[in-house]
């Protein structure tokens, strides 16, 4: 359903963040994008929905090349792609319900959403989603009263109420403690399965990726250097992705995590 063809991004500074990336994501597949800082993970996620403009190559979402679309058509195409951010990007002074409903902006138009007149069907769906993520009782709370994990659940609902086919997820657990991180990854992957959604999850925590996601893509210096199942991610492969120095810390994290899980 998504195909990247020779996707390249060179920033004005001359940084070549993506070097002719080819990648195919079938319908309903969830994959994790791993790699060291600066490998190009965020750039890749953002080039897909053109928050960052690709320099060359194609982003084909269900037979449409998104790089060729004008502003109106791009806005419509973006409805198909829900985005979940590291920093949640909630509007602090709005309620949980209003934040979730803001995910319908691409459908209901600016004024209707500004006046907070959403169709009843959208409100019903927002309640259903909040119930699914365990936040029904928080619907009227202001966003700034929530914990990090609760905020991310609202972020997930806001992306899903768009009714997307693809989720683009950028470091969803970076600001969360280990236990909450696992809960959020479990929730995202379960929801994808329930809804037949494809997802690309940029995640720096290899252990979490291995625990929850069936396909892992490793980026290094803007190139794909690994693409396979979690079990194929051997010490050699991790060294290839991360370099000699820092993957050992990653392996330790996996072992620590298993111990924690076992102790619980």
Contact positions toward ligand ATP, by CB under 6 A?
A: 11, 13, 15, 17, 35, 37-43, 204
Give the nearer residue to ligand ATP in terms of CB position, either 37 or 63.
37
What separation, in Å, do the N-terminal and C-terminal C-alpha atoms of the chain show?
39
Give the nearer residue to ligand ATP in terms of CB position, either 17 or 200.
17
Place of tokens 């991610």: 233
**Separation CA 202–CA 169 (nearest Å):** 6
Q: Which two tokens stand for residue 32?
A: 């994790």
Give the nearer residue to ligand ATP in terms of CB position, either 129 or 238.
238
Cα–Cα separations (whole angstroms), residue 106 to 76, 80, 82, 112 = 7, 10, 11, 11
Report the nearest approach of ligand ATP to the CB of residue 245 (Å). Answer: 16
Report the nearest approach of ligand ATP to the CB of residue 237 (Å). Answer: 17
Give the nearer residue to ligand ATP in terms of CB position, either 37 or 120.
37
Q: Is 10 exposed, middle or buried (0-12, 13-18, 19+ CB in 10 A)?
A: middle
Report the nearest approach of ligand ATP to the CB of residue 242 (Å). Answer: 11
Give the nearer residue to ligand ATP in terms of CB position, either 17 or 187.
17
Report the nearest approach of ligand ATP to the CB of residue 88 (Å). Answer: 16
Give the nearer residue to ligand ATP in terms of CB position, either 39 or 167.
39
Report the nearest approach of ligand ATP to the CB of residue 191 (Å). Answer: 23
Q: Tell which phi-psi region holds residue 109, choosing left (phi > 0), alpha (psi between -120 and 50) or beta.
A: left
Report the nearest approach of ligand ATP to the CB of residue 35 (Å). Answer: 6
Percentages (nearest 5) of helix, strand, coil residues in the chain: 45, 25, 30
Q: Tell which phi-psi region holds residue 243, choosing left (phi > 0), alpha (psi between -120 and 50) or beta.
A: left
């Amino acid at each position: 359903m998504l195909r990247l063809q020779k996707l390249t991004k060179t920033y004005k500074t001359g940084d070549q963040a993506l070097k002719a990336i080819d990648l195919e994501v079938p319908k309903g597949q969830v994959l994790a994008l791993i790699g060291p800082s600066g490998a190009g993970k965020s750039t890749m996620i953002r080039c897909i929905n053109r928050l960052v403009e690709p320099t060359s190559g194609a982003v084909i979402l269900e037979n449409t090349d998104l790089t060729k679309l004008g502003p109106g058509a791009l806005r419509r195409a973006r409805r198909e792609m829900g985005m979940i951010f590291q920093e949640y990007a909630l509007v602090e002074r709005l309620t949980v319900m209003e934040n979730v409903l803001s995910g319908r902006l691409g459908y209901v138009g600016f004024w209707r959403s500004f006046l907070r007149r959403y169709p009843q069907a959208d409100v019903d769906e927002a309640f259903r989603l909040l119930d699914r993520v365990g936040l029904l009782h928080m619907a009227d709370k202001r966003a700034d009263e929530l914990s990090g994990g609760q905020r991310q659940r609202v972020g997930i609902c806001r992306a899903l109420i768009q009714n997307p086919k693809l989720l683009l997820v950028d470091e969803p657990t970076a600001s969360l403690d280990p236990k909450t991180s696992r809960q959020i990854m479990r929730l995202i992957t379960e929801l994808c399965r329930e809804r037949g959604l494809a997802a690309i999850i940029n995640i720096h925590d290899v252990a979490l990726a291995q625990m929850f996601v069936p396909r892992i893509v490793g980026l290094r210096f803007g190139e794909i250097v690994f693409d396979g199942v979690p079990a194929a991610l051997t010490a050699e492969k991790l060294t290839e992705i991360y370099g000699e120095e820092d993957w050992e810390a990653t392996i330790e994290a996996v072992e620590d995590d298993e111990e924690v899980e076992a102790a619980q």
